[in-house]
Chains A and B, each alone.
Chain A
Amino acid sequence: MLWVDKYRPKTLDQMIVHQDIVQNLKKLVSEQDCPHLLFYGPSGSGKKTLVRALLRQMFGASAEKVKVENKTWKIDAGTRTIEIELTTLSSTHHVEMNPSDAGFQDRYIVQEIIKEMAKNRPIDTKGKKSFKVLVLNEVDKLSREAQHSLRRTMEKYSASCRLILCCNSSSKVTEAIRSRCLNIRINSPPEDEIVKVLEFTAKKEGLTLPAGFAARIAGKTNRSLRRAVLSFETCRVQQYPFSSNQAIPPMDWEEYVSEIVSETMTEQSPKMLFQVRGKLYELLINCIPAEIILKRMLYELLRKLDSELKHEVCHWAAYYEHRMRQGQKAIFHLEAFVAKFMSIYKAFLISTFA
């Protein structure tokens, strides 16, 4: 088991980061009338861990006895029947799912499956709480229709069912949904808290940490707790005992993006564009999300470029990412960005050195 999973805290009391939020959550669920909750914050900031620990706080250890089910639902959509596959994780008190997995059919999940679950009274009424909980992940990825479909369900059945919604960006959740929840922001933990987690992990694994090593890892992982622990484990595999100046390897794909960027800066030509295309495909095939690739390219460019060009390049990155959202094929927009950059950069070089 990876360390990120092995040392994931199970209860609110075991949480090392987000102490302030933990204290608040405890108070929030102390009564029976807790409102719906919307957790939002960057990925890797620990939302899922918090939610699991919160469930445990609400329902006790039985919330941990979960089973994973993969079920195909047949939904009657008037003229035809639609089949939707959905994976759920459930205990006697809660059901967790990722409704946006159903893509453009997500509306049916909300209208049929979630509504049915919300309607039914809790399975175990003898338990501590008189309601059950539905955990919906990535609600920011739900279509507008699906979000609309959720509105009245959240009100109508609120006595028997509470929703816990999770997302990265609450800007993408409609105002009507946000207005129905208590919004809780989960920030990326600051570096000193990440260091504490790494020290805890080291202690559990019986490892000796040279001074400053944990801080170096924390500094390289953009405040993502998950990245930090993964990175720490990689370091352990590469070299132990640790030395304080030991290299902290970047992720493979990041190195790859860095190469792409160097290449586009050395040569701006159709031939190079073609070569870059292959590499972009390679990244996409390895399931690196397109917007992450684009943002990483921008990151590398901003490190290397003259300040005069930064404004222009960041504008086009934003422009093409927006286009990509509206389009269907990510590769077109990634390539368009690379081509745009090449053209700008070439013009810049000519005007500067000609």
Chain B
Amino acid sequence: MVELIIWTIIKILFILFFVTLPLAGVLTVVDRRESSMIQDRIGPNRANLSGDVWDLSKRWRFLGLLHLLADGIKMIFKEDYSIKSGNRWIHTFAPILAFFPGLVILSIIPFGGNVTVFGSSTNLQIASFDSGMLLAFAFSSIAVYGITLAGWSSNNKFSLLGGVRATSQMLSYEVVLGLTLMGIFMIYGTLELNTIVQGQQSLKVDGTPDLLFGFLPKWGIFLQPFAMLLYVAAATAETKRAPFDVPEAESELVSGFFTEYGSMKMGMFLFAEYAEVVIFSMIFTTLFLGGYHVPYLYDSGFILPFGWGSLSINPTLVGFIQMLTFLLKVIIVAWGHLVIRWTLPRFRYDQVLRLGWKMLLPLALANIIITAIVLSFI
């Protein structure tokens, strides 16, 4: 029991303070620099630690990552403006509601295989529920309340419009989001994420590899490519980033639902957005990219397809390799997500809803039916 509690605390601290929050923070800067690289600019690169003031090459700039610190300090020391009209309590509470529920989703994500440290072994997943993904759906829909309440309590037309748009967009895409994943749940027969990852590991009961066409691991992306495309669209809409950033829509609504926010409260909304990107990447990796699974690496070591040989590795080492693989995949997915943001222009509001209800929803339903038919024949 004590062992379990200690492990859980370690895992929570690790995934929260060593993975998600730093990654989300770094993403705020990476987003800006990546966008500038895509747009042929250089981007923020001035924040520096002492060094020579006039010679750029002699300053310690760390690729502009120090802007993260500079931004944080700026946000904290700005005036914490609280509105005179509107509902002040809800106005203060909304950023919290937008930020924290998302973090709960981290508890169900398996970020590594089984590791053994000092003779005590554990699965690198904070909580293993049978209802797994349902918890993720539940908590990601709570985040909608944060946005809506922020828009409503600000007593500002722009905020209200942003809040209303966010509500209708996120509610409609939540439906699609759930339905697209139904195929995955049917194939792996569970909602529990660690079991899904183990299903993607493609191991038969007797411990021999069970690969698609003899060489492809059974990852979600290969079994449900269509659902993957729909999921990316729906999940991008859930994170409210371009091309689905109508709730924020700088060019129409000033800043959408957080127009009336300043200092760290606004910082929380911005940070929540990046935390959502990280969480989206984690769920995407887990469901479609085999989670922490390295192709051909099993608990006992590598077993290459076509009988090309095998290599046995210490199981604990395998656990750590898998953890790093998971982080690497998450970083790559998050990067790709940012590329999508900086590539596509914003949909019009009616287009967003039309895409959601008239295209993605029927396609998701068709995907479920086809998957069900195919599964019943196998």
> Do A and B come together as binding partners?
no
Please give the residue numbers on chain A whose beta carbons come within 8 Å of chain B beta carbons, in ascending order: none
